[in-house]
Structure 1
Amino acid sequence: MTDSHVPLLLLHAFPLNARMWQEQVTGLPELRTLTVDLYGRLDAEPSVDVMARLAAERLDAAGVERAVLGGLSMGGYVAMAFARAFPERVAGLLLADTKAVADTEAQTANRERIAQAVLARQSVRLLVDEQLPAPLLGARTPLERPELTAHVAAMMLEATPEAVAWAQRAMATRPDSFETLRGMDVPAAVVVGAEDTLTPVSDAEAMAEALPKAELTILQGAGHLSSLETPDSFNDTVRALFSRVA
């Protein structure tokens, strides 16, 4: 039996938007599911903390004090920032295809390269060319579900160059979050696609080990966008988490 009184707030991946969660919104009708646009403060200094405050404002607007926070990739970084800033508002934590470590120097430099390139070109096509289908999707997804590849590309192209650059710079400055995870004594689920090469199984295992009450799920047939690639299995994991949320 799920606790329908505690809503689920889902935080989207980069450079996608809240539409990526449609399979969860419709596939989990027993839950009250909320989403938020994480690119809503482009005038602020780039930071995942700014996005975490947007998530808090979304809960405020919905009249919600505590929620289960779910984030995939960048959304996971924001969920961890939210847990750091507002731990009392977290009833449960769902971290999918993300990681708790900070970027390396090389990763930070690559984010800045992309930020500068999309702003100079005033186009985000670079992201589609570099990241789709690989490394965003698993090996079989483009062959078996070409319509999903097209759907992801369309969402990516909806992002503005300014939003892409801002988000890249925000992610580049995020801190290591393992201390935050060790302090989160709430039911948690860590989910990762078996074919995820951006935030691989080893990153998921490290987060699950740090969280006091975590269950780890590895989704076969999924790459980095597991909620889109294997939505039924992903939703089953969400239900299992809610069954543990008091």
Structure 2
Amino acid sequence: MAMTQVLLLGGTFDAYMLSAMLHEAGVAAIYSYAGATRTRRTPPLPVRVGGFGGVRGLVDYLIAHQITHVIDATHPFAAQMSANAIAACSRLGLPLLSMERPPWQAQPGDRWQHVPDMAAAAKTLNPLSRRVFLAIGRKQLAAFAGLADRHRFVLRVIDQEGDALPLPPSSYELIVARGPFRLADELALLGQYRIDCIVSKNAGGADTYAKIEAARQLGIPVVMVDRPVLEPRTQCQSPQQAMEWLQRPRR
């Protein structure tokens, strides 16, 4: 893989695993992440933090750092970064791979209601669902701010510190924890807080799936936010497949 210079757009556990594989294989690579999460795993690669300044800024970065391959291993809901990567790589003719874990699929016993985004999720909440587990992180809580007088929320975030939450303090209880989460613990959490509805992104993967299993066992409905729709691009599902993609000869 002589002359290869990879830009790895990270932020997920799979991205971290791929960074270790690239390092072990001696592949020149730069690991980039947005920096929204303060508590994070440190990859064994040179790191850059923050945005690029849109498509134009990303194009400039790719040229300046002589990037030959881009691997998008951001969160499935980091739609803007993924769209920028598609546009920038198309403009420069660079190979782009999206490493994205498969979405969860509903199983017998699941009570899912699919919605396209957080605004629709907020509108979908049943007035009878008083205690809601918002398993969506910090960034999109504002969609639920107008419901604080009708619902009691339980929030789970990775970092204790961060931007002020856009909900009245009296409307929620905060849990600081990082996955993977065990089924027994999720069952205990849902029971302790008397949760009667869950709002979840369809993130896929095993780290946070236990809450979905727990909801199934307890018969709790889940408002499932579907992934953003992006332009078609080359995709894989694992770090091993990404390494194989890098080794393929280019025409």
Q: TM bucket by the smaller chain? A: 0.3 to 0.5
Between structure 1 and structure 2, the one with the greater Rg is 2
TM norm structure 2: 0.42
Q: Which has the higher helix share?
A: 1
TM norm structure 1: 0.42
